[in-house]
Chain A
Amino acid sequence: MTHRVLQTSSAVLAGLLVPALAQADDVVLSLEIPRLTVAEYHAPYVAIWIETPDHQAVSTLQAWYDYDLQGEDGATWLKDLRQWWRRAGRSLALPSDEITQPTRTPGTYEVSFSAEQGAFADLSAGEYNVVIEAAREVGGRELIRLPITWPLGAGHTPITAQGESELGALSLTVIED
Protein backbone atom coordinates (compact mmCIF):
# COMPACT_ATOMS: atom_id res chain seq x y z
CA MET A 1 0.00 0.00 0.00
CA THR A 2 1.35 3.35 -0.99
CA HIS A 3 -1.50 5.34 0.46
CA ARG A 4 -3.46 5.58 3.63
CA VAL A 5 -6.76 7.14 4.44
CA LEU A 6 -7.35 8.87 7.72
CA GLN A 7 -10.55 10.43 8.85
CA THR A 8 -9.58 13.57 10.69
CA SER A 9 -13.02 14.75 11.63
CA SER A 10 -13.51 11.79 13.91
CA ALA A 11 -11.35 9.98 16.33
CA VAL A 12 -12.62 6.70 14.98
CA LEU A 13 -10.43 5.03 12.42
CA ALA A 14 -11.62 2.24 10.24
CA GLY A 15 -9.94 -0.97 11.27
CA LEU A 16 -8.05 -1.44 8.01
CA LEU A 17 -6.62 2.04 7.93
CA VAL A 18 -3.25 2.95 9.27
CA PRO A 19 -2.54 6.39 10.72
CA ALA A 20 -0.45 8.55 8.44
CA LEU A 21 2.95 8.45 10.07
CA ALA A 22 5.10 9.97 7.40
CA GLN A 23 8.37 8.12 7.06
CA ALA A 24 9.31 9.87 3.84
CA ASP A 25 7.83 12.69 1.82
CA ASP A 26 4.11 12.26 1.52
CA VAL A 27 1.51 13.92 -0.61
CA VAL A 28 -1.56 14.35 1.53
CA LEU A 29 -4.94 15.18 0.10
CA SER A 30 -7.51 16.46 2.55
CA LEU A 31 -10.95 15.86 1.12
CA GLU A 32 -14.26 16.92 2.61
CA ILE A 33 -17.43 15.02 1.86
CA PRO A 34 -20.03 17.64 2.75
CA ARG A 35 -22.99 16.91 4.95
CA LEU A 36 -26.10 17.48 2.88
CA THR A 37 -29.64 17.97 4.01
CA VAL A 38 -31.48 15.71 1.63
CA ALA A 39 -34.29 13.23 2.04
CA GLU A 40 -32.28 10.31 0.72
CA TYR A 41 -28.54 10.27 1.17
CA HIS A 42 -26.03 7.81 -0.18
CA ALA A 43 -22.31 8.22 0.29
CA PRO A 44 -20.79 9.42 -2.98
CA TYR A 45 -18.55 7.48 -5.28
CA VAL A 46 -15.23 9.31 -5.50
CA ALA A 47 -12.31 9.00 -7.90
CA ILE A 48 -8.93 10.62 -7.39
CA TRP A 49 -6.44 10.60 -10.23
CA ILE A 50 -3.51 12.42 -11.78
CA GLU A 51 -3.87 13.89 -15.26
CA THR A 52 -1.80 15.97 -17.63
CA PRO A 53 -2.97 19.53 -18.38
CA ASP A 54 -4.75 18.24 -21.51
CA HIS A 55 -6.73 15.84 -19.32
CA GLN A 56 -4.98 12.60 -20.21
CA ALA A 57 -5.03 10.34 -17.17
CA VAL A 58 -1.60 9.41 -15.85
CA SER A 59 -2.70 7.19 -13.00
CA THR A 60 -5.66 6.56 -10.76
CA LEU A 61 -4.90 7.01 -7.09
CA GLN A 62 -8.18 5.86 -5.57
CA ALA A 63 -11.73 4.93 -6.43
CA TRP A 64 -14.25 4.91 -3.61
CA TYR A 65 -17.23 2.76 -4.48
CA ASP A 66 -19.48 -0.03 -3.28
CA TYR A 67 -17.35 -2.96 -4.38
CA ASP A 68 -18.79 -5.46 -1.92
CA LEU A 69 -22.56 -5.01 -2.16
CA GLN A 70 -24.58 -8.13 -1.51
CA GLY A 71 -26.45 -9.24 -4.59
CA GLU A 72 -25.60 -6.16 -6.58
CA ASP A 73 -22.63 -5.08 -8.61
CA GLY A 74 -21.61 -1.71 -7.23
CA ALA A 75 -19.36 -1.23 -10.26
CA THR A 76 -22.56 -0.64 -12.26
CA TRP A 77 -22.48 3.00 -11.17
CA LEU A 78 -18.78 3.65 -11.68
CA LYS A 79 -19.71 5.16 -15.04
CA ASP A 80 -21.38 8.01 -13.13
CA LEU A 81 -17.89 9.20 -12.27
CA ARG A 82 -18.06 9.97 -15.92
CA GLN A 83 -14.86 11.92 -16.45
CA TRP A 84 -12.76 9.42 -14.56
CA TRP A 85 -14.60 6.54 -16.18
CA ARG A 86 -13.76 7.89 -19.59
CA ARG A 87 -10.17 8.87 -18.90
CA ALA A 88 -9.09 5.91 -16.79
CA GLY A 89 -11.69 3.81 -15.04
CA ARG A 90 -13.05 1.92 -18.00
CA SER A 91 -9.58 0.62 -18.83
CA LEU A 92 -8.73 -0.58 -15.33
CA ALA A 93 -9.14 -4.05 -13.84
CA LEU A 94 -11.32 -3.46 -10.79
CA PRO A 95 -11.52 -4.01 -7.93
CA SER A 96 -7.86 -3.32 -7.35
CA ASP A 97 -5.96 -3.52 -4.07
CA GLU A 98 -4.14 -0.34 -4.98
CA ILE A 99 -7.14 1.73 -5.97
CA THR A 100 -10.38 0.39 -4.59
CA GLN A 101 -11.66 1.89 -1.36
CA PRO A 102 -15.04 1.88 0.32
CA THR A 103 -17.30 4.91 0.09
CA ARG A 104 -17.26 7.33 2.98
CA THR A 105 -19.92 9.25 4.82
CA PRO A 106 -19.73 13.04 5.37
CA GLY A 107 -16.53 14.17 7.04
CA THR A 108 -13.01 15.27 6.23
CA TYR A 109 -10.55 12.60 5.18
CA GLU A 110 -6.84 12.65 4.65
CA VAL A 111 -5.58 10.48 1.86
CA SER A 112 -1.86 10.06 1.96
CA PHE A 113 0.39 8.96 -0.89
CA SER A 114 4.08 8.33 -0.82
CA ALA A 115 6.06 10.80 -2.88
CA GLU A 116 8.89 8.32 -3.18
CA GLN A 117 7.15 5.24 -4.49
CA GLY A 118 4.08 4.61 -6.56
CA ALA A 119 2.11 7.03 -8.70
CA PHE A 120 3.77 10.27 -7.62
CA ALA A 121 7.27 8.87 -7.67
CA ASP A 122 6.68 7.71 -11.24
CA LEU A 123 5.77 11.19 -12.47
CA SER A 124 8.15 12.98 -14.78
CA ALA A 125 8.79 16.59 -13.84
CA GLY A 126 6.06 18.83 -15.21
CA GLU A 127 2.56 20.19 -14.89
CA TYR A 128 -0.29 17.98 -13.72
CA ASN A 129 -3.68 18.13 -12.09
CA VAL A 130 -4.80 16.04 -9.18
CA VAL A 131 -8.45 15.49 -10.02
CA ILE A 132 -11.20 14.66 -7.55
CA GLU A 133 -14.59 13.64 -8.93
CA ALA A 134 -17.61 12.74 -6.81
CA ALA A 135 -20.98 11.35 -7.93
CA ARG A 136 -23.83 10.55 -5.60
CA GLU A 137 -26.85 8.31 -6.10
CA VAL A 138 -30.02 10.43 -6.17
CA GLY A 139 -27.65 13.37 -6.17
CA GLY A 140 -25.24 15.26 -8.33
CA ARG A 141 -21.69 15.14 -9.56
CA GLU A 142 -18.76 17.47 -9.08
CA LEU A 143 -15.22 17.52 -10.38
CA ILE A 144 -12.35 19.62 -9.06
CA ARG A 145 -8.82 19.93 -10.36
CA LEU A 146 -5.89 20.83 -8.16
CA PRO A 147 -3.03 22.00 -10.42
CA ILE A 148 0.47 20.98 -9.36
CA THR A 149 4.00 21.30 -10.66
CA TRP A 150 5.94 18.14 -9.99
CA PRO A 151 8.14 17.72 -8.08
CA LEU A 152 6.14 19.60 -5.55
CA GLY A 153 7.99 21.22 -2.66
CA ALA A 154 6.28 21.59 0.67
CA GLY A 155 6.76 25.34 0.34
CA HIS A 156 4.40 25.38 -2.63
CA THR A 157 1.58 23.81 -0.70
CA PRO A 158 -1.13 23.67 0.40
CA ILE A 159 -3.00 23.84 -2.89
CA THR A 160 -6.61 24.33 -2.02
CA ALA A 161 -10.03 24.44 -3.62
CA GLN A 162 -13.58 24.56 -2.39
CA GLY A 163 -16.30 22.38 -3.82
CA GLU A 164 -19.79 23.72 -4.27
CA SER A 165 -22.06 20.70 -4.19
CA GLU A 166 -20.73 17.16 -3.82
CA LEU A 167 -17.29 18.12 -2.55
CA GLY A 168 -16.29 20.44 0.28
CA ALA A 169 -12.88 21.80 1.15
CA LEU A 170 -9.95 20.22 -0.69
CA SER A 171 -6.33 20.68 0.16
CA LEU A 172 -3.16 19.09 -1.16
CA THR A 173 -0.10 19.24 1.05
CA VAL A 174 3.39 17.84 0.85
CA ILE A 175 4.78 16.71 4.16
CA GLU A 176 8.53 16.42 4.08
CA ASP A 177 10.25 13.85 6.17
Chain B
Amino acid sequence: MNKAWSMTAAALGLAFTVTAASQAHRLWLLPSNTVLSGEESWITVDAAVSNDLFYFNHVPLGLESIVVTAPDGSNVAIENGATGKYRSVFDLHLDQQGTYRIASVRNGFFASYMLDGERHRWRGQEAEFAAHLPEGASEVETSRYVGRVETFATLGAPSSEALAPTGSGIELVAVTHPTDLYAGERAEFQILLNGEPYAGASVELVEGGTRYRDAMAETTLTTDDEGHFSYTWPEAGMYWFEVGHRVEGQNGEPGQNYGYAVTLEVLPL
Protein backbone atom coordinates (compact mmCIF):
# COMPACT_ATOMS: atom_id res chain seq x y z
CA MET B 1 0.00 0.00 0.00
CA ASN B 2 1.15 3.42 -0.72
CA LYS B 3 1.64 5.35 2.43
CA ALA B 4 2.07 8.69 0.74
CA TRP B 5 -1.43 8.65 -0.70
CA SER B 6 -3.13 8.40 2.61
CA MET B 7 -0.87 11.00 4.06
CA THR B 8 -1.96 13.79 1.82
CA ALA B 9 -5.57 13.02 2.51
CA ALA B 10 -4.84 12.93 6.21
CA ALA B 11 -2.77 16.05 6.03
CA LEU B 12 -5.69 17.85 4.49
CA GLY B 13 -8.06 16.97 7.24
CA LEU B 14 -9.79 14.25 5.31
CA ALA B 15 -8.78 11.66 7.85
CA PHE B 16 -12.42 11.05 8.63
CA THR B 17 -13.11 9.62 5.25
CA VAL B 18 -9.82 7.82 5.01
CA THR B 19 -9.74 4.92 7.41
CA ALA B 20 -7.29 2.70 5.59
CA ALA B 21 -4.68 3.18 2.95
CA SER B 22 -6.82 1.18 0.56
CA GLN B 23 -9.39 3.96 0.77
CA ALA B 24 -6.90 6.73 0.30
CA HIS B 25 -7.84 9.36 -2.22
CA ARG B 26 -6.06 11.87 -4.32
CA LEU B 27 -6.62 15.58 -3.94
CA TRP B 28 -6.35 17.72 -7.00
CA LEU B 29 -6.94 20.97 -8.77
CA LEU B 30 -7.53 20.89 -12.50
CA PRO B 31 -7.08 24.17 -14.40
CA SER B 32 -8.77 24.66 -17.77
CA ASN B 33 -5.58 26.18 -19.16
CA THR B 34 -2.04 26.63 -17.90
CA VAL B 35 -0.52 28.59 -20.80
CA LEU B 36 -2.40 31.70 -21.89
CA SER B 37 -1.85 34.75 -24.06
CA GLY B 38 -3.42 38.16 -24.38
CA GLU B 39 -3.94 41.24 -22.25
CA GLU B 40 -6.00 39.32 -19.74
CA SER B 41 -7.67 35.96 -19.55
CA TRP B 42 -9.83 33.69 -17.43
CA ILE B 43 -9.43 30.12 -16.40
CA THR B 44 -11.80 27.83 -14.57
CA VAL B 45 -10.48 25.36 -12.02
CA ASP B 46 -12.01 22.15 -10.68
CA ALA B 47 -11.16 21.04 -7.14
CA ALA B 48 -11.91 17.49 -6.10
CA VAL B 49 -10.86 14.39 -4.23
CA SER B 50 -11.00 11.03 -5.99
CA ASN B 51 -9.00 7.92 -6.75
CA ASP B 52 -9.11 8.43 -10.48
CA LEU B 53 -7.41 11.30 -12.25
CA PHE B 54 -9.03 13.54 -13.18
CA TYR B 55 -12.60 12.38 -12.64
CA PHE B 56 -15.16 13.64 -10.17
CA ASN B 57 -16.51 10.64 -8.32
CA HIS B 58 -15.88 11.02 -4.61
CA VAL B 59 -16.04 14.35 -2.79
CA PRO B 60 -15.34 17.99 -3.61
CA LEU B 61 -12.32 19.83 -2.28
CA GLY B 62 -13.59 22.75 -0.23
CA LEU B 63 -13.09 26.26 -1.56
CA GLU B 64 -12.45 27.87 1.83
CA SER B 65 -8.84 26.71 1.64
CA ILE B 66 -8.07 28.15 -1.80
CA VAL B 67 -5.24 30.66 -1.89
CA VAL B 68 -4.25 32.26 -5.21
CA THR B 69 -0.96 34.11 -5.48
CA ALA B 70 -0.69 36.51 -8.43
CA PRO B 71 2.51 37.18 -10.39
CA ASP B 72 3.23 40.23 -8.22
CA GLY B 73 3.05 38.10 -5.07
CA SER B 74 -0.30 39.47 -3.88
CA ASN B 75 -3.24 37.24 -3.04
CA VAL B 76 -6.19 37.55 -5.40
CA ALA B 77 -9.77 36.38 -5.00
CA ILE B 78 -11.40 33.55 -6.87
CA GLU B 79 -14.75 34.17 -8.57
CA ASN B 80 -17.94 32.21 -9.21
CA GLY B 81 -17.02 29.57 -6.67
CA ALA B 82 -19.47 26.71 -6.21
CA THR B 83 -19.36 23.33 -4.55
CA GLY B 84 -21.36 20.43 -5.86
CA LYS B 85 -21.72 16.80 -4.97
CA TYR B 86 -18.43 15.71 -6.46
CA ARG B 87 -16.40 18.79 -7.10
CA SER B 88 -15.89 22.43 -6.40
CA VAL B 89 -15.28 24.84 -9.24
CA PHE B 90 -14.11 28.43 -9.42
CA ASP B 91 -12.98 30.99 -11.95
CA LEU B 92 -9.82 33.00 -11.85
CA HIS B 93 -9.38 36.28 -13.70
CA LEU B 94 -5.78 36.62 -14.84
CA ASP B 95 -5.08 40.30 -15.30
CA GLN B 96 -1.36 40.32 -14.60
CA GLN B 97 1.25 38.97 -16.97
CA GLY B 98 3.14 36.10 -15.41
CA THR B 99 2.57 32.99 -13.34
CA TYR B 100 -0.23 32.42 -10.82
CA ARG B 101 0.06 29.87 -8.04
CA ILE B 102 -3.33 28.34 -7.25
CA ALA B 103 -3.37 26.33 -4.06
CA SER B 104 -5.53 24.68 -1.45
CA VAL B 105 -3.62 25.19 1.79
CA ARG B 106 -4.72 23.58 5.03
CA ASN B 107 -3.18 23.57 8.48
CA GLY B 108 -4.87 21.90 11.39
CA PHE B 109 -5.16 19.24 13.98
CA PHE B 110 -6.99 16.00 14.23
CA ALA B 111 -7.37 13.34 16.86
CA SER B 112 -8.90 9.96 17.43
CA TYR B 113 -9.66 8.09 20.61
CA MET B 114 -11.50 5.02 21.89
CA LEU B 115 -14.68 5.55 23.87
CA ASP B 116 -17.15 2.84 24.80
CA GLY B 117 -15.46 0.42 22.48
CA GLU B 118 -15.62 2.66 19.42
CA ARG B 119 -13.00 4.81 17.77
CA HIS B 120 -14.02 8.45 17.52
CA ARG B 121 -12.41 11.08 15.33
CA TRP B 122 -12.21 14.79 15.87
CA ARG B 123 -10.86 17.68 13.87
CA GLY B 124 -10.49 21.26 15.01
CA GLN B 125 -8.18 23.65 16.76
CA GLU B 126 -5.50 21.98 18.79
CA ALA B 127 -6.12 24.28 21.73
CA GLU B 128 -9.74 23.20 21.96
CA PHE B 129 -9.09 19.50 21.93
CA ALA B 130 -8.48 19.08 25.66
CA ALA B 131 -11.90 20.55 26.39
CA HIS B 132 -13.51 18.29 23.81
CA LEU B 133 -11.92 15.03 24.96
CA PRO B 134 -14.59 13.10 26.87
CA GLU B 135 -14.12 11.44 30.23
CA GLY B 136 -13.03 7.87 29.82
CA ALA B 137 -11.46 8.29 26.38
CA SER B 138 -8.44 6.10 25.81
CA GLU B 139 -5.87 5.36 23.11
CA VAL B 140 -5.78 9.03 22.18
CA GLU B 141 -3.85 9.73 18.98
CA THR B 142 -3.30 13.26 17.77
CA SER B 143 -1.67 14.80 14.72
CA ARG B 144 -1.05 18.20 13.31
CA TYR B 145 -1.26 18.52 9.55
CA VAL B 146 0.09 20.88 6.95
CA GLY B 147 -1.21 20.24 3.46
CA ARG B 148 -0.89 21.90 0.09
CA VAL B 149 -2.56 20.98 -3.18
CA GLU B 150 -1.69 23.27 -6.06
CA THR B 151 -1.37 24.04 -9.72
CA PHE B 152 -0.08 26.88 -11.85
CA ALA B 153 -1.19 29.02 -14.78
CA THR B 154 0.76 31.60 -16.75
CA LEU B 155 -0.47 34.55 -18.78
CA GLY B 156 2.31 35.67 -21.12
CA ALA B 157 5.85 34.83 -20.11
CA PRO B 158 6.43 32.63 -17.04
CA SER B 159 7.50 34.39 -13.85
CA SER B 160 8.70 33.14 -10.50
CA GLU B 161 7.58 35.62 -7.82
CA ALA B 162 4.43 33.68 -6.94
CA LEU B 163 6.39 30.45 -6.68
CA ALA B 164 8.54 31.55 -3.74
CA PRO B 165 8.36 28.90 -0.99
CA THR B 166 6.53 29.88 2.18
CA GLY B 167 8.70 27.62 4.34
CA SER B 168 5.69 25.76 5.70
CA GLY B 169 5.08 22.10 4.97
CA ILE B 170 6.06 20.34 1.79
CA GLU B 171 6.62 22.61 -1.20
CA LEU B 172 7.88 22.45 -4.73
CA VAL B 173 10.82 24.38 -6.10
CA ALA B 174 10.36 24.22 -9.84
CA VAL B 175 13.87 24.23 -11.28
CA THR B 176 12.05 23.72 -14.57
CA HIS B 177 9.18 26.19 -14.66
CA PRO B 178 5.87 24.44 -13.91
CA THR B 179 4.12 25.93 -16.94
CA ASP B 180 7.00 25.26 -19.32
CA LEU B 181 6.78 21.48 -19.52
CA TYR B 182 6.91 19.61 -22.82
CA ALA B 183 6.61 15.98 -23.89
CA GLY B 184 9.99 14.33 -24.30
CA GLU B 185 11.78 16.95 -22.23
CA ARG B 186 13.24 16.41 -18.81
CA ALA B 187 11.92 18.49 -15.95
CA GLU B 188 13.74 19.00 -12.69
CA PHE B 189 12.12 19.79 -9.36
CA GLN B 190 13.18 20.14 -5.76
CA ILE B 191 11.04 19.16 -2.79
CA LEU B 192 11.26 21.18 0.41
CA LEU B 193 10.04 20.24 3.86
CA ASN B 194 9.54 23.32 6.01
CA GLY B 195 11.87 25.24 3.72
CA GLU B 196 14.69 22.70 3.79
CA PRO B 197 15.58 20.20 1.04
CA TYR B 198 13.62 17.00 1.57
CA ALA B 199 16.09 14.22 0.74
CA GLY B 200 14.84 10.71 0.12
CA ALA B 201 11.24 11.82 -0.38
CA SER B 202 9.03 9.41 -2.28
CA VAL B 203 7.24 11.09 -5.18
CA GLU B 204 4.21 9.29 -6.61
CA LEU B 205 3.49 10.49 -10.12
CA VAL B 206 0.40 9.62 -12.18
CA GLU B 207 -0.71 10.80 -15.60
CA GLY B 208 -4.37 11.75 -15.98
CA GLY B 209 -6.80 9.73 -18.03
CA THR B 210 -6.73 6.76 -15.67
CA ARG B 211 -10.27 5.77 -16.63
CA TYR B 212 -9.10 4.81 -20.09
CA ARG B 213 -6.34 2.42 -19.18
CA ASP B 214 -6.11 -0.78 -17.19
CA ALA B 215 -3.35 0.22 -14.81
CA MET B 216 -2.88 3.30 -12.67
CA ALA B 217 0.69 3.23 -14.02
CA GLU B 218 2.08 5.38 -11.25
CA THR B 219 5.77 6.17 -11.25
CA THR B 220 7.66 6.33 -7.97
CA LEU B 221 10.59 8.70 -7.87
CA THR B 222 12.91 9.46 -4.98
CA THR B 223 14.55 12.78 -4.26
CA ASP B 224 18.32 12.93 -3.98
CA ASP B 225 20.42 14.36 -1.14
CA GLU B 226 19.43 17.88 -2.15
CA GLY B 227 15.75 17.05 -2.48
CA HIS B 228 15.91 17.06 -6.26
CA PHE B 229 14.29 14.70 -8.71
CA SER B 230 13.82 14.79 -12.44
CA TYR B 231 11.44 13.20 -14.86
CA THR B 232 11.19 13.02 -18.63
CA TRP B 233 7.55 13.39 -19.68
CA PRO B 234 6.69 10.47 -21.95
CA GLU B 235 3.80 12.28 -23.58
CA ALA B 236 1.68 15.39 -23.39
CA GLY B 237 -1.11 15.49 -20.84
CA MET B 238 -2.11 16.48 -17.35
CA TYR B 239 0.09 14.95 -14.67
CA TRP B 240 -0.21 14.81 -10.92
CA PHE B 241 2.25 13.94 -8.22
CA GLU B 242 2.20 13.69 -4.50
CA VAL B 243 4.70 13.73 -1.66
CA GLY B 244 3.90 12.93 1.96
CA HIS B 245 5.79 12.87 5.22
CA ARG B 246 4.89 11.83 8.74
CA VAL B 247 6.65 12.38 12.01
CA GLU B 248 5.26 10.11 14.72
CA GLY B 249 4.22 11.75 17.97
CA GLN B 250 6.23 10.87 21.02
CA ASN B 251 5.55 11.14 24.74
CA GLY B 252 1.99 12.29 24.16
CA GLU B 253 3.02 14.98 21.69
CA PRO B 254 0.98 15.10 18.46
CA GLY B 255 2.36 13.50 15.35
CA GLN B 256 2.95 15.69 12.34
CA ASN B 257 1.54 14.97 8.87
CA TYR B 258 2.66 16.76 5.77
CA GLY B 259 1.10 16.41 2.36
CA TYR B 260 1.71 17.94 -1.03
CA ALA B 261 0.08 17.33 -4.39
CA VAL B 262 0.42 19.21 -7.65
CA THR B 263 -1.21 19.12 -11.08
CA LEU B 264 1.07 19.97 -14.01
CA GLU B 265 0.28 20.28 -17.68
CA VAL B 266 2.73 18.88 -20.22
CA LEU B 267 2.24 20.22 -23.74
CA PRO B 268 3.22 18.55 -27.00
CA LEU B 269 6.34 19.83 -28.70
User: Taking beta carbons and an 8 Å cutoff, which residues of A are in contact with B?
Assistant: 73, 75-79, 82-83, 85-86, 89-91
Q: Are B38 and A73 in contact (CB under 8 A)?
A: yes
CA distance A86 to B181 in the complex (A): 10
Interface string of B236-269 (1 = CB under 8 A from A): 0000000000000000000000000000000111
Contact surface of B with A, Cβ cutoff 8 Å: 35-41, 156-158, 180, 182, 267-269
Q: A77 to B37, Cβ gap below 8 A? A: yes
Query: Considering residues B38, B41, B268, which has the most beta carbons from chain A within 10 angstroms of its beta carbon?
Result: B38
- Tell me if B157 and A82 are in contact (CB < 8 A): no
Tell me if B36 and A82 are in contact (CB < 8 A): no
Query: DSSP class of A's interface residues: helix, strand, loop or mixed?
Result: helix
A78 touches B35 (CB 8 A): no
Known: A82-B267, A83-B269. A90 touches B156 (CB 8 A): yes
Q: Provide the bound-state CA to CA distance between A31 and B137, in Å.
A: 79
For residue A97, give the distance in angstroms from its CB to the closest CB of chain B.
Answer: 18
B108 to chain A, nearest CB (A): 38
CB pair A85–B37 under 8 Å, yes or no, is: yes
Contact, CB under 8 Å: A79 / B36: yes
Q: Whose C-beta in chain B lies nearest to the C-beta of A73? A: B38
Pick from A76, A77, A83, A90: contact of B157, CB below 8 A. Answer: A90
Contact, CB under 8 Å: B35 / A73: no
A78 touches B267 (CB 8 A): no
Further pairs besides A75-B38, A79-B35: 4, Cβ < 8 Å: A76-B41, A85-B37, A86-B267, A90-B156
Cα separation A11 to B116 with both chains bound (whole Å): 92
Give the one of B39, B40, B157 with max A CB within 10 A.
Answer: B157
Is the pair B157, A73 in contact by a Cβ cutoff of 8 Å? Answer: no
- Using Cβ atoms and an 8 Å threshold, which residues of chain B touch A86? 35, 180, 182, 267
Closest 10 CB pairs of A and B: A76-B38, A78-B37, A79-B37, A75-B38, A90-B157, A73-B38, A91-B157, A79-B35, A73-B39, A75-B37
Q: In the assembled complex, how far is the CB of residue A67 from the closest CB belonging to chain B, in whole angstroms?
A: 11
Is the pair A82, B39 in contact by a Cβ cutoff of 8 Å?
no
**Do A82 and B35 touch (CB < 8 A)?**
yes
Which chain B residue shows the least CB distance to A83? B269
The CA of A79 and the CA of B37, in the complex, are separated in Å by: 5
The residue on A at minimum CB distance from B180 is: A86
Identity of the chain B residue whose Cβ is nearest the Cβ of A65 in the assembled complex? B37
A87 to B182, CA, bound (A): 12
A89 to B41, CA, bound (A): 16
